[in-house]
Amino acid sequence: MTTIELQKPAIASFDRTAPVPIDPRQLARDLQAFRDPRPVRSGWELAITLVPFMALFVLIAIAVQAGYWLALAATPLAGLFLLRLFIIQHDCGHGSFLRNRASNDWIGRVLGVLTLTPYDCWRRSHAMHHAGTGNLEARGFGDVDMLTVREYHERTWLARLAYRLYRHPLVLLGLGPAYLFLLRHRLPVGLMRSGWLYWASAIGTNLVTGLVLALLLWQFGLAVTALVFIPVLLSAASLGVWLFYVQHQFEDAYWKQRADWSFYEAALQGSSYLELPPILSWFTGYIGIHHVHHLSSQIPFYRLPEVLDKHPRLRDVNRFTGLEACGTLRLALWDESRREMVSFREAVGTG
């Protein structure tokens, strides 16, 4: 068995006096004890997320319609509840929210109407992401596009410019999420030749979402609906994309060619632990405990903190605070010779 001595990332300020020796395969076996969902707890988590979201959304719309524009200040809170609904949808995709697969799927499809994410399409692409995390030959499905330094230098100047723009924080966390959730998800992009299920997922989600929007337009009008719906969606989308970015894009991440790649090592070395304040951990469904999630994706999100309690060494693996994680946004390329992510400036003159 391979035992990994994982160093904490250089960008973090935590004590790094000793490595953390962990056998990822044995740990994955140990984590099976946490995989059983608790139906009553799952139902409660859904209720305390869905009901406040819908109530808050309607209250904001009513207040704005009545002229109380200050109510728009509450849209980030509604966005946090929407993000949490996406985390529940995410768990449904892993079959970890309820014990019955059909129940997981239908809850996921319903939530996909609210998150503007076709459930079956997303579940397939996300499964491919999990299966190939850290594999340089399996990029492009359900992840943030990333080039190696060599690939970047081999591209034309126009392609390099496009990649620089893509990786700019304003695009990555602003225009990117808007494009992803408002436009790209309207079609089964990347799965168009993979069967009717993905077309049905995308078109079905579009139709039901259109019906919901029509009801909102009828009740509140175009201006109020747009002023509430779009900011709520985009605040959730931007935070969600940022979370997804910092989970795999950090200096000492794990990227290898297929011949040298290991699923278990990639899960533990290539995923971060984002330590957030308790309230933000709750709203983000503890998905910041991402190294555990990748080692055992069938653990319900609400049981992830249990894992850290029983395996405290995992608190020291790839740990970042939210502020420290923001520093990873400067990283844009994987340097295969140095085996670390680097910025564009650091990549100049190398290849």
Q: Is the dihedral of CA 284, 290, 292, 297 positive or negative?
A: positive
pLDDT in the model for residue 119: 98
Nearest to 24 by CA among 334, 331, 317: 317
pLDDT in the model for residue 169: 95
pTM of the entire structure?
A: 0.92
The pLDDT of residue 151 is above 90: yes
Do the strands 319-321 and 333-335 form a parallel or antiparallel pair, or are they unpaired? Answer: unpaired
Structure tokens at 307: 């894992």
Read off the pLDDT of residues 44-96 as tens digits, 9 standing for 90 and up.
999 999 999 999 999 999 999 999 999 999 999 999 999 999 999 999 999 99
Confidence of residue 336 (pLDDT cuts 50, 70, 90): very high
For residues 184 and 195, what is the distance between their CA atoms, to the nearest angstrom? 18
pLDDT in the model for residue 347: 87
- CB proximity list for 330: less than 8 A, separation 6 or greater: 343
pLDDT in the model for residue 254: 94
Confidence of residue 10 (pLDDT cuts 50, 70, 90): very low
Give me the residues paired with residue 275 across strands. 321
**Between 279 and 18, whose confidence is greater?**
279
Confidence of residue 7 (pLDDT cuts 50, 70, 90): very low
For residues 78 and 235, what is the distance between their CA atoms, to the nearest angstrom? 9
Average pLDDT rounded to a whole number, residues 14-33: 73
Would you give the DSSP letter of residue 288? T
pLDDT in the model for residue 349: 59
Read off the pLDDT of residues 250-288 as tens digits, 9 standing for 90 and up.
999 999 999 999 999 999 999 999 999 999 999 999 999
Give me the residues paired with residue 147 across strands. 333
For residues 163 and 160, what is the distance between their CA atoms, to the nearest angstrom? 5
The pLDDT of residue 8 is above 50: no
Would you give the DSSP letter of residue 348? T
Read off the pLDDT of residues 175-212 as tens digits, 9 standing for 90 and up.
999 999 999 999 999 899 999 999 999 999 999 999 99
pLDDT in the model for residue 184: 94
Nearest to 180 by CA among 167, 169, 189: 189
pLDDT in the model for residue 22: 83
Structure tokens at 123: 């579940």
Other CB atoms within 10 Å distance of the CB of residue 291: 25
User: If you average pLDDT over every residue of the chain, what do you get?
Assistant: 92
Extended strands (E) in 179-314: 273-275
